[in-house]
Structure 1
Amino acid sequence: MNVLIIEDEPLSAQGLELLLHEYDPQIRVLAQLPSVSKSIQWFRSLQPIQPDLIFLDIHLEDDLGFSIIKELNLTIPIIFTTAFDQYALQAFKANSIDYLLKPIEAEELATAINKFKLVRQTPTTALIDTTVLHRFMQKPDQPVYRNRFMVSIGPKLRSIRTEEIAYFFFEDKATYVAPHTGIPVSIDYSLDRLGQLVDPDRFFRVNRSFLVSASAIKSVYTYSGSKLKVEVVPPPRQEVFVSVDKVTVFKEWMGK
């Protein structure tokens, strides 16, 4: 089976490819593409082998993944992957096999691929089970936040649960995740993107460089007038201050 992965987060793409090869070592990943524009370019370059199945992230770096389907009039079966569930109905209307929420579980991935095999053998089979759609549409107003993140430690990939995370920070042109125990490791997200993926009741972007968990805050001090200094554990190499324009909102967040 030939597979195409369209995913703008390299670690997520690598993790998905590992899961695919665990499911079936014979699966061939033709490419990992990070954007709508590069995906369209890939298809229009007359590839000698076309994918049997596409894994498509909905939020790509330049647009929504649905734009690829519309632009190319794709009829290739698709398994959607995303950290958000508000697009389930739109995915249902597309040529979708299934709709998987990140982080993808091996068991859910296997179920989705098995469904694809069934559809390929029996073309009259519905592309997506309406029970799957119903599951995602039951609570459309409740956002879904990440409960773990994939990180790379040397040649290994590791999953860190959100409750293990003390804070995220930006330093030396890279983003890092600092767990409550252990050393910080780089993570393939911007702080802006992380702010969208984590629960705002648990994490607060105190300044341009730090997104902190409430569980990591040891003390808060008034510093130089209205400025606030936050003491977090484990202590970072630089002091953490709340931006002046966020002080009021931060106090409200702390009081929740």
Structure 2
Amino acid sequence: MNVIIIEDEARTARQLERMLRQYDETIHILTQLPSVAEAVAWFSENPAPDLAFMDIHLEDGLAFGIFEQLHLTLPVIFTTAYDEYMIKAFKVNSIDYLLKPVDYDELVAALEKFKLIHAVPAPGENTPASPDLNTLIQFMQQSRQATYRKRFMISLGTKIKSVEVADIAYFFSEDKATYLVTNEGQSLPLEYSLDQLVSLLNPDHFFRVNRQFFVARPAIQTIHTYSAGKLKLDLTPVARHELFVSISRMSEFKDWLGR
């Protein structure tokens, strides 16, 4: 099986590659690409692989931009931290939609589904069905009913501190570590990545404005508008670094504010 990985986080791409080889060491990974532009160029010059793994948020925009520029019919398994693109993903040949961090068992299930869907039926057998959009919508509704984290246990030396989610202003990553900042301004280390927090935090209360920050609505003090609609946020408590809403998240951020 020939596979391509379109992922802008090198560590995530390596982890995915290791899991693929664990599943089947004969899988041939043709290349790993970090952007829409590089993916479009590669597909324009090479025959399509059997299967593509794609993150949705890439260096230069959403992976759907690849399909907008090229007529691709190859099957895709999306691996992403954001679940709001599920329906759109299944409209562009998606076999499955795996939320990060990718679980090995879920990856195996997705690969088995790929084999089933693309298997050549024996004489007299029906062609396996394509992914069912109604089933997908039901899954999304069920996932929204999940119980989100109400508190985090923080290890501080020999002590463990309990922090209520309602008391957290925002989360941020720095030097490969993740921190939460309380409403009182205390910064505490957290044993979760921002990608992992996606499934733990209620999206009605927290929004990931870019790769470094997850922000609670009450923490946003002021929003500054720059040219071309660029947005800068002032937080309370004040953040260590200037905080801008990433271009790829701009529309979703405005919708989130308006809820």
Match of 1:84 in 2: 82
Of 198, 201, 216, the residue aligned with 1:199 is 201
| Matched-pair identity in % | 46
Q: What TM-score, normalized to structure 1?
A: 0.58
Compared with structure 1, are the counterparts of its residues 19 and 129 closer, same or farther at alpha carbon in structure 2 (3 Å cutoff)? farther
Match of 2:19 in 1: 19
Give the aligned residue type for 2:15: G
1:74-133 C-alpha deviation (Å, 9 max, x unpaired): 100111111111111111212111111111111111111111111221473233244651
Give the aligned residue type for 2:29: V
* Unmatched tracts of structure 2, length 5 or more: 122-126, 157-170, 181-188, 216-233, 240-259
How many residues are aligned here?
187
2:58 and 2:48 map into 1 onto residues whose CA distance is: 21
- Contact 2:39 2:66 survives alignment (8 Å): yes
Match of 1:118 in 2: 116
Compared with structure 1, are the counterparts of its residues 130 and 26 closer, same or farther at alpha carbon in structure 2 (3 Å cutoff)? same
Aligned residue runs from structure 1 range 16-55, under 5 A: 16-44=16-44, 46-47=45-46, 50-55=48-53
2:20 and 2:132 map into 1 onto residues whose CA distance is: 22
2:155 and 2:82 map into 1 onto residues whose CA distance is: 20
1:121 match: secondary structure: coil
Runs of 4+ in 1 over 2 A off after TM superposition: 122-127, 129-132, 134-137, 139-146, 162-170, 174-179, 193-205, 209-212
RMSD across aligned C-alpha pairs, in angstroms?
4.3
2:130 and 2:207 map into 1 onto residues whose CA distance is: 40
- Contact 1:82 1:102 survives alignment (8 Å): yes
- Contact 1:95 1:127 survives alignment (8 Å): no
1:117 match: secondary structure: helix
2:54 and 2:153 map into 1 onto residues whose CA distance is: 28
1:195 and 1:96 map into 2 onto residues whose CA distance is: 24
Deviation at 1:3, TM superposition (A): 0.4
1:90 and 1:204 map into 2 onto residues whose CA distance is: 20
Of 135, 140, 146, the residue aligned with 1:137 is 140
Match of 2:131 in 1: 128
Of 237, 241, 253, the residue aligned with 1:247 is 237
- Contact 1:80 1:98 survives alignment (8 Å): yes
Deviation at 1:67, TM superposition (A): 1.1
1:55 match: secondary structure: strand
Compared with structure 1, are the counterparts of its residues 211 and 68 closer, same or farther at alpha carbon in structure 2 (3 Å cutoff)? closer
Give the aligned residue type for 1:246: T
- Contact 1:86 1:140 survives alignment (8 Å): no
1:130 and 1:145 map into 2 onto residues whose CA distance is: 25
1:86 and 1:204 map into 2 onto residues whose CA distance is: 12
Match of 2:183 in 1: none
* Unmatched tracts of structure 1, length 5 or more: 147-161, 213-243, 250-256
- Contact 1:80 1:96 survives alignment (8 Å): yes
1:80 and 1:70 map into 2 onto residues whose CA distance is: 16
Compared with structure 1, are the counterparts of its residues 204 and 120 closer, same or farther at alpha carbon in structure 2 (3 Å cutoff)? closer
2:202 and 2:116 map into 1 onto residues whose CA distance is: 40
